[in-house]
Structure 1
Amino acid sequence: MSLAMFESVMQQLPGGILILNSSCQILYVNHYICRYSDLTAQQLIGKSFFASFPEVPQAWFNRKIEAVLSQKITEQISWQQRLYLLKFPRQDAGDESRRYMAQNCTLMPLPNPVSGELQLCLWIQDASEQARYHAKLLFTQQQLKVHERQDSLTGLMNRSFWQQQLQLEITRAERYERPLSLLLFNVDRFKPFNDKYGHEHGDQLLQALAKFSAALLRDNDLLARFGGAEFAIALPDTAIIGALEVANRFRVQLANSRLLTALPSIQVTISIGVSQYQSDVDMSELIQRAEQALHQAKCAGRNQVSIFTAKNKAG
């Protein structure tokens, strides 16, 4: 191949071309490299690759060169392995989240046509669009995962995901012989409130209650919207006495609060059912016991806390 033909090929390839000798001295660059490095060919040719591009990790890149030249193989470095090799600005300057061009890099052994010495040809291709699409895909997948786990109205765990987490806590409680308690609570007279003030205020009430509840709990407590105006809390490492204290403190503080600034005269109360995990019950039974205790609290006049007992079950 003539020098003119070689030059034509190197300039027309999509991306940047650098040719280095075994000492990492730059022997050739195409216009692409000059444009994105903002350096001229005269400023680059004959210079050290690492001095010209100090962002390249020298020890790591030397190992790559040694492998390519000694084994006479081609090596690919994708943007997923290393976002970029050379710090070039993105062609799409509108994306401020990624300032630099994502790159796919190919390292190829290239014999010198005169001396026969093996040189390294480095081919840089812009992979920014691939990286952007991949980031968008990951974001979509993460949003789907959140949707699968999260109640869309309150942002809390939904019932299905909460039950998965509860089962893990039951397994842990059984294995390490640690206490575990469960609270189920329901907004008192929520349907009449909804009928009188409308679903928009009803939704705002549930959102405010979710935020209020989360602020009172520990980081390892599991809070979920169980359905409608009903919520559930799993309290790891908490025996029934501690759960009763949490429930009563929660009930009293809520009764003395005004959740809705738009309706400051409205007092919101809740009824709470409490159950404790025991080795002879499964998750369904544990939840059912809390539901029975909640029903007992409602029957006792609302704004009450009731603990599951055999008497609750018989009733």
Structure 2
Amino acid sequence: MTLTILFAAGADSWAAYERPLRAALAEHLGNRDAEVVTDAAPESVDYIVYAPDSWLSDFTPYTRLKAVLNLWAGVENVVSNRTLTAPLARMVDDEGLTQGMVEWVTGHVLRHHLGMDAHIVNPDRRWDHQPPPLATERTVAILGLGALGAACGTALSDLGFRVRGWSRSQKGVPGISCRAGEEGLAPTLDGADIVVLLLPDTPGTRCVLNARSIAWLAPGAVVINPGRGALVDDDALLAALESGRLSHATLDVFRTEPLPREHPFWAHERVTVTPHIASETRASSAARAIAANIARAEAGRPLKGRVDRAAGY
């Protein structure tokens, strides 16, 4: 029987995904007949390749559905959909997604570590012969040790930074001092010079960075958030920036996107706004990850990245 795979992501995505997805499916499924389409009778669909900007919101008619494979790492916009009862898998093992995040995080950590802004914009032509500390003298805290957080932490550790990591459940990553649970958050942040937020958006992670947790950081610490906007208490962040408790915040994600033009983040001299570009799903690598996961399911193996509905990720 032919496998029918419905591509139900944004309308503009199909042009980018059609060829790499068909090629990847042919590679991973071998001689198995499979077709990937943008329209099909619901009762004929075996798998759905999905993104939260999709037109599809009611999964009830898809009675043959084996799994939904999300194109994004975040699933907060679909995990609570009560019509979706089939397994849901978030994007993992996408080397393009991971590499993009590692490059963005490493670049911004190094920017703040080296004090690049003072040299890039120096209208007074000051000759401040003050070298930055070495990476071995800086502590970076990574909140979130999933695939992206672990990869970023490892890259920073390889550069010599003292890296601490925190997650909801205990993880072990070479080169990173790992803690977990509510009791592990304070010692992870205690005295950290830079904090990178890479947690999912769940009820247990919202506003994880607030007035209380900001106070644990080193004076003048830097916040870098490429994870989810809801991880940060915006008012507490702005207050800490105004008081000098924090020296800078580089933010790639926000509660409302695009970030409204009137939002105070845009004009704040200690805030850098980037337009949700820290890591984008790229069609070539994402297609391979999707096809490999479908092949796993067809072979009777567990889906990679299967979402725990109770945990929300």
Q: Return the index of the structure with the highest Cα Rg.
A: 1
Fold match (TM-score > 0.5): no
TM-score, normalization by structure 2: 0.22
TM-score, normalization by structure 1: 0.22
Select the structure with the greater relative contact order (CA < 8 A; seq sep ≥ 6): 2
